[in-house]
Amino acid sequence: MVAHSELAFRTLAFEHGATLAYTPMMHAKHFAASANYRSGNFDFDPSIEGAAHGRPVIAQIAANDPELASQAVRILASTGVDGIDLNLGCPQGIARKGNYGAFLLPQTSKVEAVLSAMVAASDGVPITAKVRIQDDLESTLRICKAIQSTGVSLLTVHGRTRENNKTNLSPASHEAIRAVVESLDIPVVANGGVERPEDVPAILESTGAAGVMSSEKLLELPSLFAPGAVGDAELTELEVMERQLALTREYLVIAAEHFPISYGGAGGANCVKSHVFKMMYRLLDLPPCHGLRAKLGGMKDRNYDVSNVAAVVEEVAALLHDERRPLLTNESVSWYRRHRRPQAPPPTIGSVGTMSERKARIRERVEKLRADRITTAATD
């Protein structure tokens, strides 16, 4: 995730159940040629992450030239990262212009040349790749088998084509991912369509994949992979709000210690703000918070401090905890759903049971809390 899977966010994700993380994607050409580019885009810290710490990290690059890819790999292999990934799934316009990512993927001979060169230059560090499915299953399987033949150790498959992105989304094809799993001998990770914690075991079962990757939803819900995590439908509006505030606060504490690097001039401040916007998307979208959203957006790198963002977060918390605060409603749109066309009804917050039943559940919780307090007082 360019400018989003930085050290601070990786740390947060690991704290909440993630078992593998990727660095932001880097351009092999610039990475190999420029020390300034490396210092401004690569933040792997072997003192606190990596397999030795139970937090394996894979460095991801974009490349279309075997020699430049090899040069980047040789440098990365000496840093202690646990793997090096070739991004063959990026569908953005800049990837089209640079002929990398999902636009390089159909050029099978060039993909094979780049990956083979990376494997040869890696000094034993595993090389992996991430792809998107093609318009037909036959092409998808042909390309994935060709990639496997280069010696890569793992393949991640996004179950959408390169045209299926942003506002033009269709459900991820877990059937296609399963076909890839059954056709290859190397581990396959399933990507796409992960919206709630219960989706993870369901996708593992439906695809037969060795793992599940998330990008967009994880940015909004870093605890997606946490053991025992439940979807919004099992929570009240207040519980959702408290969860998002807690995750945001935790991220800001980590970011204060490991402030994001510049990421090509975008600035560490922008990286922090972007994470906060995503984790607090629904809260900031409530009308009373629009002014605070604008205040947060107006912060610049100059004279920037994480404490400034933290102060705004606490203003939001205070406003929404006021007795007149508006609750998150079932019509609230998550950041994950912001561009998605309604193919299926989005999961609603507290959607288990009718409104009366939900209120009854809340009253039961309140009564239980009161009873617990009385019991505690009686035993003191």
Residue count of the chain: 380
The amino acid sitting at 116 is: S
Residue 221 CA neighbour count, 13 Å, CB half: 23
Catalytic residue flag (residue 289): no
Q: Which position among 90, 144, 271, 289 bears the catalytic label?
A: 90
Contact status, residue 119 vs residue 112, Cβ threshold 8 Å? no
The secondary structure of the chain, three-state, reads CCCCCCHHHHHHHHHCCCCCEECCCEEHHHHHHCHHHHHHHCCCCCCCCEHHHCECEEEEEECCCHHHHHHHHHHHHCCCCCEEEEEECCCCHHHHHHCCHHHCCCCHHHHHHHHHHHHHHCCCCCEEEEEECCCCHHHHHHHHHHHHHCCCCEEEEECCCCCCCCCCCCCCCHHHHHHHHHHCCCCEEEECCCCCCCHHHHHHHHHCCCEEECCHHHHHCCCCCCCCCCCHHHCCHHHHHHHHHHHHHHHHHHHHHCCCCCCCCCCHHHHHHHHHHHHCHHHHCCHHHHHHHHHHHCCCCCCCCHHHHHHHHHHHHHHHHCCCCCCCCCCCCCCCCCCCCCCCCCCCCCCCCCHHHHHHHHHHHHHHHHHHHHHHHHHC
**Nearest 5°: phi and psi at 293?**
-60, -45
Known catalytic residues are 90
